[in-house]
């Protein structure tokens, strides 16, 4: 097999027979479209590297954590999107118990309102059922320490039988993980419909 030769213009390797026909140029350079081809490749690389939804989320998280009062300064749409997104992350990572035991539990009311706004009725029912399991008929406290005090405790003996509330919570988690509402798609549509994503969308060239 003949050893390939570098294009005289761009350095791409080409067959010797091609080099003879094109005076040492690859076909894109010979046809004059190498530059547009490379620009197209670069656009594709940039599109893969830049995700408007991810950029929006990082920006929103930074704003929400800028100070103790930062979350209150968000718009209603931002609060609801943030709360439901945090709920998603916590439940998929460690279940409803993790959502309520972490600082994220303070967002319970916003998560409820967000799920209502999104029409995620089944996720909403599961979240409210989890709150019922952990707090009975009481509202989950906003204060984290107060939530810990109100939540039932796991047995200290790791070999002990799991309490009924824990078993029910695991059932809720499994049902949530099945994503009955297609929540990711609803969140993405909400971003677009509310205009929250628009500042992060790059115009097509």
**142 and 106 in contact (C-beta within 8 Å)?**
yes
- Say what the pLDDT of residue 107 is: 97
- DSSP code for 70: T
Give, for all 205 residues of the chain, the pLDDT tens digit.
Answer: 457 778 777 777 766 666 666 778 776 676 666 665 565 566 556 556 678 888 999 999 999 999 888 999 999 999 999 999 999 999 999 999 999 999 999 999 999 999 999 999 999 999 999 999 999 999 999 999 999 999 999 888 878 888 999 999 999 999 999 999 999 999 999 999 999 999 988 765 5
Distances (CA, A) of 35 to 29, 31, 38, 90, 129: 8, 10, 5, 46, 59
Residues in the chain: 205
Sign of the C-alpha dihedral computed for residues 191, 192, 194 and 196 taken in this order: positive
Q: How many CB atoms lie within 10 A of CB 96?
A: 23
Residue 194 burial (CB count, 10 A): 16
Domain ranges in the chain are 5-28+35-49, 52-198
How much is the pLDDT for 44? 58
Hey, how many other C-beta atoms are within 10 angstroms of the C-beta on 1? 4
Does residue 160 sit in helix, strand or coil? coil
């Amino acid at each position: 097999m003949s050893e390939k030769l570098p294009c005289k213009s761009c350095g791409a390797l080409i067959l010797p027979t091609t080099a003879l026909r094109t005076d040492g140029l690859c076909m894109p350079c010979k046809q004059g479209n190498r530059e547009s081809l490379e620009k197209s490749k670069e656009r594709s690389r940039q599109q893969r590297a830049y995700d408007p939804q991810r950029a929006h989320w990082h920006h929103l998280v930074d704003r929400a954590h800028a100070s103790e009062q930062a979350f209150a300064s968000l718009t209603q749409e931002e609060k609801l999107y943030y709360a439901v997104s945090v709920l998603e992350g916590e439940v998929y990572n460690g279940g409803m118990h993790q959502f309520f035991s972490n600082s994220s539990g303070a967002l319970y009311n916003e998560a409820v309102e967000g799920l209502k706004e999104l029409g995620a009725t089944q996720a909403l029912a599961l979240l409210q059922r989890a709150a019922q399991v952990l707090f009975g008929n009481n509202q989950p406290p906003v204060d984290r320490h107060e939530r810990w005090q109100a939540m039932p405790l796991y047995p200290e003996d790791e070999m002990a039988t799991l309490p009924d509330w824990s078993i029910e919570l695991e059932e809720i988690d499994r049902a949530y993980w099945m994503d009955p509402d297609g929540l990711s798609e609803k969140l993405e549509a909400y971003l677009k419909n509310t205009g929250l994503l628009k500042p992060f969308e790059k115009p097509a060239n």
